[in-house]
Amino acid sequence: MRAQVAALPGDQFWTLFLRLYPLLIVKTTAGSPVSRVERVENSVAEGFLEKYGYLHQENHRHNKGEVTSALRKFQWLSHLPVTGQLDSPTLQQMATPRCGVGDGRSQPAWSRRVHNIFQGNTAPSGQHRRIKRYSRPGEKWYKRHLTYRIVNWPRHLSPGQVSLAVRTAFHLWSNVSALAFREVAEGPADIRLAFFEGEHNDGTGNAFDGPGGALAHAFFPCRGEAHFDMAERWTLDGLKGHNLFMVIAHEIGHTLGLEHSPVRHALMSPYYKKLGKALVLSWDDITAVQQLYGRAEGQGKKRTGRVFCCALGNHMKCLFFPNWRIQTICSFSYTIILFICTRFHVF
């Protein structure tokens, strides 16, 4: 496994190296002609592949075949040329901000999901005898009404802003499924959202690594927890930092039992996704949650795109646009609406 050293910018390489350094055990072969830098790159890559489930985390040297197979799986999920080689695009992708949940079961889950689509099995488990469960036993909720609690808040955002982002992120999923969510201010909750820095008793592999790298991670049902890196620059205006609404919506997907998606524009893609003009949920996101929990009931749960704007609709209508229809408000730019709410202390 050889790396094209000159093609990878130095800052990206060393950023990835420092993030994965605690996981690394340098593995070299006696007499190997590779340079010291290439050996370090190989070790960084293997540490990454171990962390995200492409290689088994065992304290031994991985042979060339194991590493090549792991790289091919990573490249497939990342929409890179599937070469099995540690080339520059592969190293750069490894340094891209992403979710901290592993990818090891993403391909099998996606294959089952597509198979069910072609077989016509789109009902959730329990509603159709032929349907195969999308998640493994114990990794879906067996109730439709779930509670959630915001444990703490990040710097740079007010509790009101965070609450709105969380509420709208949950609404994104209830909009397209039979699930319903309710916030509780204290006490037990099915899903808990919290911000931490560095090591936070989730194990060495789940320790946060500072700005960039792993932005957040979550646990599948029924643990019901989503953790976010306090060291990140969280934002809701789309200017600097990472959009908290998008990351929360992604991590909620994991708490519901969804694996990472290989679909490039899916919310459940493992890589950070900016909020743009396109729909927030892709067909693959919607299919995944509906295969677990069924479709939304009624006519009020059909919008799957810029729901953050729609969540502000009634509030904005009363405060600023009393003569406008909600549909007109929802067509506004998400950034503009949030800026107005923040500027005039609407939250």
User: pLDDT 10s digit of each residue in the chain, 347 long?
Assistant: 444 444 445 455 545 655 555 554 444 444 455 577 788 888 889 999 999 999 986 666 888 999 999 999 999 999 999 999 999 999 999 999 999 999 988 777 777 877 777 777 655 644 443 333 334 444 899 999 999 999 999 988 999 999 999 999 999 999 999 999 999 999 999 999 999 998 888 877 788 888 989 999 999 998 999 999 999 999 998 678 999 999 999 999 999 999 999 998 999 999 999 888 778 999 999 999 999 999 988 644 445 444 455 544 443 343 334 344 333 334 334 444 444 444 434 33
Beta bridge partners of 146: 181
Q: Which residue range forms the structural domain that includes residue 51? A: 5-96
- Residue 137 sits in the same domain as residue 282: yes
Query: Does 170 map to a domain?
Result: yes
Which residue numbers belong to the known binding site for Zn(2+)? 99, 200, 202, 217, 227, 250, 254, 260, 268
- Residue 131 sits in the same domain as residue 242: yes
Which residue numbers belong to the known binding site for Ca(2+)? 190, 209-210, 229, 232
CATH of the domain at 154: 3.40.390.10
Which residue numbers belong to the known binding site? 99, 190, 200, 202, 209-210, 217, 227, 229, 232, 250, 254, 260, 268
- Residue 260 sits in the same domain as residue 188: yes
Rounded CA-CA distance 44/18 in Å is 9
Q: Taking the complete model, does pTM exceed 0.85, yes or no?
A: no
Helical residues (DSSP H) of 175-260, grouped into ranges: 244-255
Q: Write the DSSP string, 111-162.
A: HHHHHHHHHT--SPBTTBTTPPPSS-TTSS-S-SEEEEEE----TTS-HHHH
Query: Does 268 map to a domain?
Result: yes
Please list the active-site residues. 251
Query: Does 346 map to a domain?
Result: no
Query: Does 14 map to a domain?
Result: yes
Query: Does 316 map to a domain?
Result: no
Predicted confidence at residue 121, as pLDDT, reads: 66
- Residue 221 sits in the same domain as residue 296: yes
- Residue 76 sits in the same domain as residue 119: no
- Residue 118 sits in the same domain as residue 237: yes
* Sign for the pseudo-dihedral over CA of 53, 56, 58, 62: negative
- Residue 277 sits in the same domain as residue 138: yes
- Residue 130 sits in the same domain as residue 269: yes
